Amino acid sequence: MAALARLRDLAIKALVRWQWASLRATSPRLAVVPHEHVGLAVLTTGLYEREELDCLRALVQARGLGGGVCLDIGANIGNHAVIWSQLFEQVVCFEPNPQMGAVLRANLALNLCGNVRVVDVGLGTQDAQLPFSFQEAGNDGTGTFARGIGDITLPVRRGDDAIDELGLTLPITLVKCDVEGFEHLVFEGLTETLSRHRPVVIFESNAIEAGNAAWSSLRRSGYDRLYEIRHSAAALPQPLREIVRLATGHRCSIERIDAVPPHPANLIAATVALD
């Protein structure tokens, strides 16, 4: 058994080296927890949600958003933030989880992201200390305030107040919000900021109820266009989907939709047409 385990380890190391020979030139340096959901993706593809990030990079460049500020709300380990730092004049990360915040800062340092600021709080409708729960074993990114119960208590700030205190001199042109069902309360707390700056907003909808609540909050701030980031062959069964992606490539596109979809999705809200 020991010999088989050693052979397995050698095979895995050889595969990783072979994979990274092609990924190294297009991937940032990221510290990860290797057995965790995001960490596994980074180890195998160089970035978490690489295809979506490629799609969003094209959007930022096409719409000329890079001259402003990007807010990364729920920044996790900084997978997205290190890419945003290449595209925007300034990036502000909000990450209340101290464990993720430590890895986030390490990744910003590894990639010399001098234009990124980290704020160690969550955003919501009022200043508070709220229970924070870890929902899913093996996925550190599922921590949330949304359940109202939790393993630890962490600080939350009213979003508009937190933004005002930053003293930003550039417009906010993009907001990415991934907070596991707490999105609608983040947007309610950012009403003044969203109404003033009209940034493009990327947000996660893991369940239709939470997605509808987030979209309703955004509509009250003047947003009237909704888009889905769609992956190629997403409608096919998983085995066939992966075969198609192997044959044709895995890509993402931004498609206009009329309502929040019933399936989990990453969505984009805007006040102007993106297509």
- Return the pLDDT at 140: 64
φ, ψ for residue 173, nearest 5 deg = -110, -20
The CA distance from 25 to 184, in Å, is: 38
The CA distance from 98 to 239, in Å, is: 38
Burial environment of residue 26 by CB neighbours within 10 A (0 to 12, 13 to 18, 19 or more): exposed
- Return the pLDDT at 249: 85
Which uninterrupted H or E stretch holds 45?
helix 37-45
Spell out the domain ranges in the chain.
50-270
pLDDT per position in the chain (275 positions), as tens? 788 878 888 877 777 788 777 888 889 999 998 888 898 889 888 999 999 999 999 999 999 999 999 999 999 999 999 999 999 999 999 999 999 999 999 999 999 999 999 999 999 999 999 999 876 655 565 678 877 778 789 999 999 999 999 999 999 999 999 998 999 999 999 999 999 999 999 999 999 999 999 999 999 999 999 999 999 988 888 888 888 888 888 999 999 999 999 999 999 999 999 98
- Return the pLDDT at 138: 55
Candidates 30, 19, 9, 168; CA nearest to 104 is 30
Q: Could you tell me if 156 and 127 are in contact, meaning their C-beta atoms sit under 8 angstroms apart?
A: yes
The CA distance from 235 to 149, in Å, is: 35
End-to-end CA distance of the chain: 57
Burial environment of residue 34 by CB neighbours within 10 A (0 to 12, 13 to 18, 19 or more): exposed
CATH number of the domain at 50-270, please? 3.40.50.150
Candidates 181, 191, 177; CA nearest to 267 is 177
